[in-house]
Each structure stands twice: as C-alpha cells, then as structure tokens.
Structure 1
C-alpha cells in the first residue's frame, strides 16, 4: 500500500468514524435500513457486542455482566473504555489488544494462489469438530459443534477452513462477521475473528490465505472495511496484517474478568515469561489453583511449588517424586530396554556398535535390511538416525551418535509411526503420533530453502523449541529421496527431511488419545511400572494407533506436557503433586470412577 493510499484510507476512517458517532440508534430491528440499537452477535464462544450501538453505558455494563460460564464475550468499538469500566471496575477490564482495519475499497487480491491446500466454507459436521480441535490446540474457547452446523447458512456469520488437498485434513480456520447483515451497520463494516492455524500444519501461508479469502468474501458483498482485534504483543500476526494492508485504528475492546481472561487482567503471567512452554504450562496451572510458584532457574525450567505445607521442586515435568534410580534407568536406553522387556513389553532386536572391523554391524544390517542408530544416552533426538540401509550411512550415523555418547546402540527398524504416550500416576493421559518434518516442493525454491523456511515456521509455532538442523542426517534423508539440498524440488513433491519425529528436530504432533488401542495403553503402563516412575513419556513405533502392533523405543523421564494439548496433561501432573488442590467435587467424581473400575 502506497503512502497516498494510507493517507486516503485514514481520511476515510475519520469521516466514517464521525458519521458512526452521530447516527441515530432507534430501539429494535429496523427494516428501513437504519441501524439496530444495542446490537450483539452470538458467535458460539461468546457474544460479540457492538458497543457503538449502545446509547446507555449502564445498559452496556449490564449486558456484559450477563456473560455465561465458560464463555468469552467481547465488547468491540468501545469509544470511552474508561467510562465503561468505571461502572463495574471489579468485573470489567480493558483488553490489551490493538484494532486493525483493512480498507476493502482499495484492497487488491493477491495473484498468488495457495499451494497444497484450498480455502472453502464450512461444509460438514466433521469440519466443525476439526475447527474445535484447532481452537483447543491454540487454547481458544471451543464452540458447540451444533452451533456451527445450525448456523452454517447464517447471513452474518461466515466460517472458512483451509483444507489439505492431498489428505483432506483441516489446517486452519477463520470466522467473519458481516456488520451490515448483523445490525444494519451504516458503515457497511465487517470483522475477522478466531484466525487459527494448526500448529502442526506443514504448508506455508495458511493464515494469509484465510485472511485474504475472508477479505475478498466481504469485498464481494460490498463491505467497506474489515476490522480485527489482535494482542498488542503478537508481533508475527501484526506483521502479517500490516503486510496485507491493515492499519491500526483507535477503537478499544473491553472484556469481563473471568478465568479464561485471567492472564490478561492480572499481569501475573509476566513473572513466568522466561520459562519455556514445558515449564510454563505447569506453573500456569499451579497458579490457577492458588499453588505458590517460586522461580528457581527459569531458563533451565526449574521451579518450586508449595501448597498446604507441601513443597516440591520440579524441572518441567520432572519432579522430586521421580527417584534418581528411575531417572538413571531412563537415561540409559540399553538398561531401559532390558527392564521393559522383562515386563513383557515388545522390544526390537538390538546390539551394541563395536569396531566395524568385526563385521557385526554389517551382519546385523544384512539381517534386518534397515536399522536405527542411536546413542545409548541422550535426549531430544540428537544423534539418532532412522532407516539406515547402507554401511556407508551406518558408519556416518555411528560417528554422529558417538558425539553424544561413546556407547552406540543398533536396532532393527520397525516401519511405521512414532507414538508418544504420556503416563502420569500409571494412567495414560495423552497419546500422540509424532511425524517427521516434511517439505513440499513449489518448483521454485531449493530443498535447503524450503527446510530453512519450515524450520522458522516450526520455531515460531513452538516458542523456539522446534527447529530442523541442516546436518548430516537431514542431508542423508534428502539424498535418500534422490535430491541434493540445493536442488529445486518439483511442485507438489513431498520430501521427509528427518528420519526421527522428535519435536526438537522439527517433528509434528497429532493427538490420537481418543482412538489409541487398549493394548498400547496396557504396554505403556507396564513399561512405567517396570521402571517405577510416576511421570513418563513412553515411545513406541506403531503401524496405526488403532492397532495393537508396536515395538518399544524408549522412555523419557521428562516428557513435554505442552506438546499434548488439548489433553489435560498439566492438570493431571499437578493433581499428582498436590491431590488436595483438586476441587472436592472433582475428587469425589474421580473416586467414583476408580471404584467402578475395580
């Protein structure tokens, strides 16, 4: 957008703002085209309340205080937030967000079309379920699926989804509100809400495509602008909006003080900003329950929790309840394998890599065809090579593994997916399939460029926890597919760039808790009992989470609980540490379930 365009846009905003402040607001619906007074729109997660249509601030305050449980109502276009909040200072707060506007009279669609996915309107009940899944992954308020479906033909609500063209998976979603159809808005405005992209999505520019499609939808309807509200510190989102031509405008948002909004009005979360996501999810849950949190070493994830005279130190999900013996068992993959095998858990064939001169590695490779090379000690997927099929690659992989640990293990390779089961207090709380990072060719950029781009996106989606290293293992995977790092990948070609599915090396995580086979659950619990560890991440290789086939890979004494949302991993961890912090009603319900299960 040019400087002149920005000037014209701002001048237009000022003229429209003046008209908006001066228009008459009759009571009730107005079929003659005049605006409806005291307007609001039910969005499923709460009400969008158009504050500029309220003449009486007291009435607007009462409307805000009618918010239902587990809902997030939003008063938008508040002209004088200080006046509104003064009517109910204990109930209302000024949302720390900015309002941005896209002038649809000068907006021009992009000539570039999405690659690998398409944007369309909500079309089925399964779309509604997928939208909720993405909302949960982003800690957003979910919506009754029936609301989506019953309002799919709404005149004023529009839901768009981004669908993977190859798999049909829903990758992202956005909601639009047509103000003219909602309340005869004289400004012919519209607004964008709930833009959310699956954090595991591989395709680039999904958010941009959803925003553009919604803008073009409202532009075709004759809307004059599209507004949105974005948190003041959401730098990536703000950068996207400004690149698309949005400019900041002086409107404010007010919300109610409730549990959902707590961090926005207490500011308490700032104390924990130095924690990584794995520690942060736990301390946030503890603070929500009134458990005292003492920060010991935030960069390393150490903290102390105190409640009712009981004090426990933790490093992320590793607590003092885990013994040093259990931790040392998990630390040595060879010991772990022998213990769980003794408990009846299926394990792969394994050997210790010695000197290559004795030919044992070559014989093992010849017997199994494909092997896994990994250090006996290590974490976060460092030094692991999967699917090694030649002795040249085996030698390279063994040398890389020895950089992590002198002892290197060789295992038979089980073809399938990596399944992580989080076991807390000997109960499976979450299960997720982990998949290696995959790049998709566009016929223009090299494999190296695509990997670097995907790595930046994975890092942004995980708070810096996930990156794809451009190391020998990545190069080996690219070469195995018949390409070099600097080759241009043909359009539509998908290339797996790591053998492992570890999150820290770019892997993605897909929740399967609701469909995981009972034998996999039983095997995970048997493994944790063999180690005698209260909190553990058990890794299997599987053919399908709905089938019983598996082999044990390893046990992690400090599983990343933040990787498994929307499953209640942090809640169950804090339950384990401080059972008396569980509300009495929840404790009684849990006891009833356990009694029935005996």
Structure 2
C-alpha cells in the first residue's frame, strides 16, 4: 500500500513536471512571439525602463524582474497623469497582487513588421506631415488632445523634449490655413532603454475633429512607420481600445496584426470608464450630455440618467441635487428660458441693456415691405422666431424670390418668421457661465475642397461623414435647397466637378449641426465683446448661456447681437474647461476647489 502510494506520488510528480515543462515552453514561445516577457540583462538592456511622455509614463514591464517592482512604479503615478505598463508578461499575477489598484486595459496590441512594410505612393492632399517645431505646435497638439478626451501635456514639455531622441512628435499641417490638424507620437525603444528587440511604438494618434481632409490619420501612421524603418527598427507596436472599430480598420488596412501583449493601468479618475461598470444608457447620451456626465463622475458626483435620448440626467452630491438637460439646469429660471426661446423677445431685452442689434422685421405677406427692407439693407437673414440647431436659417439673401422661399421654409419650423439685416463677418459664440466668460469660438460654415475628380455632391457627402464621425453624429451637412442656393451664388451645382484646389462654401449658416466647424479664440477675443456677452447674460439673468454675435473679427470690438442659447453645447470648445466650470457652478465644493479649500489654498 505504501509502495503503491509512493509510486503514484512519483508518477504524479513526473506528470506535473512534464506539464510544467510544456507550459514553460509554451510561455517562452508566447513571450518570444509577443516580444514582451523577457527582461533584458545589463549587457543588452536597461532595467525598470520608463519614458515620461508628459501625459504619464510608459513603463516597459519586460524590464521589471518582479511584479512587486512594477506595481511600486505604477504607485508613483503623478496626479492628473496616466501611466501605462506595457508588455506585461503575466498580467494575472500582477493584477492578483494589487487588484484594488490596477486593472487590465481593454485594449488590443497591434504590430507592424517594419522590414516588410511598404509605403504608399499616394500623397496627402491639402496637408503635409512634419515634425513638431514650436510651442505654437505644442498648444495646437494639446487642443487636439482635449477635443479627443485625452490627457493634455504641458506645452513646455514638448519643447523641452524636442532634442529627446527617444521621442518623435509629428504633426499634420493644413496647407491653406497653417493649422495643426493631426498629431502622433513615436517612441524608439532602442534609444529609450537599449531594447534588444529593436522595437518602437506609436502613441497618441489624434486628428482634429474639425479637420476636413481625408486620410490624416493614415498619413501620420505611415510617416512614423517610415521614420522608424529608416532607423532600423524591427517593428512598430500600438495599443487601441478593443471597440474602436474605425481605428482598428485603419491599422488592419496598413497590415498591422494583433499580438498577445497586455497593458496594465492604475485605477484613477482618468481611467474610470475603462474599468468601472458603465452607467445604464450612457451610450445613448449625446456628446453634450456625456461631457458633463464624465466630468461629474470624475469628481465623485453621483449621476442618474433620467432620459438618455433627451439628454436628461440628475447630479447629486451630499444633500444637493440638480436635474439637467445637457447644460440647461434647474438653476436657469423658466423666465430666462422663455426669453431665450423667442428671438424677438431676446433682442428687445438685450437692446434695452445697451447691446447693438441688427435691424429686424417680422415676415408678412407684404411684398412691398419685404422689398423696402431688402433694398435698405442689401442682404438679409431669414430665420424662425423659435427654433434651434440652425434649422431653416438662411443667410445672405439678396433677392425677393429667395427671401420669400426662405420664409416659406422657416414657417415649417415656426409660424412667426424674422428677417434681419445681414452683418458681414464671422459667427462668434461666447459661452458665459456664472457671468464669466468660459470659452469663445468662431463658428465657420461648411466648405469643401475640390480635387478635380469628384462632384460637389460627393465631396459634401464625404465631408459630412467625417463631421458625423468626429462629433458622434451631431454634425452633418444637409443637401437641400439651402445648399443648392448657396452653390448657385458661386455659379455651381451639386453635380459639377470642382476643380482641384478650389475651396467652396456649401452653406452660409455656421451652425455645428449643419456641418459648421468651431475654432477656439478665447485667448484673443476683444474685451468689449466679452463685456457685451456678460451684459447680455445679466440682462436675461441666466447662469449658463451661449451668446452669439456677428463680428468682423474676434480681435475687433465691432459686433451685432444675434441670439442667446439657453442650452449651449459645451463640447467642441477644447481646450477651454467648459464642463469643469459648469460643475463648479452646480457643485462649488467638488473637484479642485474642494481640494484647495481642504488644503487652505482658497
């Protein structure tokens, strides 16, 4: 009996050793394939390697000999930063050691084999890719990061690292405007920690949601791949969220392939959406509601979504509860809301407060009165007295027939239609919260650039798809009578082929929902415009409002008041802290203010 038991034990031991050996071999094969499990020795690589990227550190987990050391490094994450441990060979072991602090990032790792990579003969149209070269570029990159919900970087960090051979910053620049419209960061692993695998990686690929050119992301990825290939790198890796189908589609098109490599991060407010159970119906919310909900959850303010499709939610903290519809809250009175709802009433209220307003009349079936108004002012704007999102607004009309048609279209939205003198210039939105300017942005109408091959209709449809993708479906360019009228002013029609390089405005109204774009001018807006916007907010007595002016330039004092929006969209004003200021108004003791009070800094 004893002998049999001993034999059985010996047999089990041999079997266990064989299994362990097979698992060890399988793990070695897996690690070799993924290039992430082997810690380099002193002769071939640096131990506990990390690279500061400004938004956080990249920790190369394969250079940490013990999980405890990697966890200790992750615990050194700076406030408001996001550290990432990549190539974690045994994530289950790391997570088991600190399950309350860490989580497995729900991202896939993709790899591009650079020795076999072949570049594209297709050249970018309307933009070019270059290195980041100034602090102006750095600020533009941060603006794009903010627009994509990414962690910003101190602008001086980019500039101070311009000679860092481990980090490569590329930007895409619009050929016509000179604006930075895309960015990508690359890390050279060999120069970062003498990587024996001779690898590299791609991070922070982001395209300006206002950009109207196709292929910006692809051009940035290709340029970075060519850069690392020229340096002799073996591969270029990247990490992408598992449900980012658009990005994954791009990488697969460029022949990236998935590899079994894992990423671990700390549980913090920035990463919360990646590891915490999502709010019920969160995905149904539009971007304007989601922006506020995200900021509330980041601060620890409780969120209850009461009607996702309508954008309604309740925020509560301590004994305080506020019901909101996007940026419209219970703090806005019914009287203030009704003033903003009727454009004619809004005009009278702000005019009495001293603001400059355009000449206006109410549309009636009186051709003589219409003709006289048109003759006096030359060009006019027709809009419904009540309405939103730019529906049935026609701008720059100079003929009686066009005005009458626009009136007919506007009456489908509201029985009462207003006609105003047209002020030539730019459409300026000023967001005022708690009677302070939070953001100022020029809103520009949608336009397309010809390529000598596609019809204007095709160009509009392509641009509309890009605007929709960039704004969560909030911005599209309608193809309707107003679009045709606008094109006719340039002697064009929808089925005409637009010559290469020609830029054409396809709608006069600069509303975001009809394809317009938003460009931040907060730092340069003229003080008189700010003063006028705050005066309008006080006249209406509304705590959160979007004041719309027509201006010759945001840097000049001339303006006319257009309207006040009681529910301004707080998204698309990056890098301005619109959602943060909204939460400061609703819950003054939440967020940074509460921390400052606790530390005696206020």
Moved over 3 A (4+): 13-16, 18-24, 268-271, 580-592
Deviations 1:288-332 (Å, cap 9, x if unpaired)?
333322221110111222233232222111122222222111111
Distance 1:570 1:246, change over 3 A: same
Counting only pairs closer than 5 Å after superposition, residues 81-480 of structure 1 correspond to structure 2 as 81-269=91-279, 272-357=282-367, 359-480=368-489
- State the secondary structure of the residue aligned to 2:214: coil
Gaps of 5+ in 1: 1-12, 593-598
Q: Which residue of 2 aligns with 1:564?
A: 573
- The 1:168/1:387 distance shift into structure 2, 3 A limit, reads same
Residue 147 of structure 1, CA deviation:
2.3
- C-alpha spacing 1:103/1:313, structure 2 compared with 1 (3 Å): same
- Cα distance in 2 for partners of 1:174, 1:22 equals 26
Instruction: Confirm or deny: 8 A CA contact 1:269 1:284 kept in the other structure.
Output: no
C-alpha separation between the residues in 2 aligned to 1:212 and 1:77?
23
Structure 2 length-normalised TM: 0.91
Residues of 1 paired with 2:149 and 2:70: CA distance?
28
Call closer, same or farther: CA 1:78–1:515 in 2, change over 3 Å. Answer: same
TM-score norm. by structure 1 comes to 0.92
2:153 & 2:558 partners in 1: Cα distance? 36
Taking a change above 3 Å as real, the CA distance of residues 518 and 104 of structure 1, as seen in their structure-2 partners, is same
Q: Which among 68, 80, 83 is matched to residue 78 of structure 2?
A: 68
Counting matched residue pairs gives 574
Change (3 A) 1:15 1:579: closer
- How far apart are residue 23 of structure 1 and its match? 5.9
Look up the SS of the partner of 1:423 in the other structure: strand
Q: CA deviation at 1:19?
A: 9.1
Provide structure 2 residue ranges, at least 5 long, that are not aligned to the other structure.
1-27
Specify the SS of the correspondent of 2:116.
Answer: coil
Name the counterpart of 2:551.
542
Per mean C-alpha deviation after superposition, the further-off stretch among 530-539 and 455-464 is: 530-539
Mark the CA change 1:417 to 1:75 in structure 2 (over 3 Å): closer, same or farther: same
The residue that corresponds to 1:3 in the other structure is none
- Take 2:156 and 2:334, find their aligned partners in 1: how far apart are those partners? 50
1:588–1:439 CA distance, 2 compared to 1 (3 A):
farther
Change (3 A) 1:290 1:95: same
Alpha-carbon distance in 1 for matches of 2:218, 2:40: 36
CA gap 1:591/1:392 in 2 versus in 1, 3 angstroms: farther
For residues 36 and 290 of structure 2, the distance between their equivalents in structure 1, rounded to whole angstroms, comes to 43
Distance 1:16 1:84 in 2: 16
Residues 21-36 of structure 1 mapped to structure 2, 5 A cutoff = 25-27=40-42, 30=43, 34-36=44-46
Counterparts of 2:523 and 2:242, CA distance in 1: 36
The CA deviation string for residues 403-437 of structure 1, in whole angstroms up to 9 with x for no partner, is: 11121111111111111111122222111111111
Cα RMSD after superposing both structures: 2.1
Which residue of structure 2 lines up, in the alignment, with residue 42 of structure 1? 52
Q: Distance in 1 between matches of 2:358 and 2:524?
A: 24
- Post-superposition offset of 1:105: 2.2
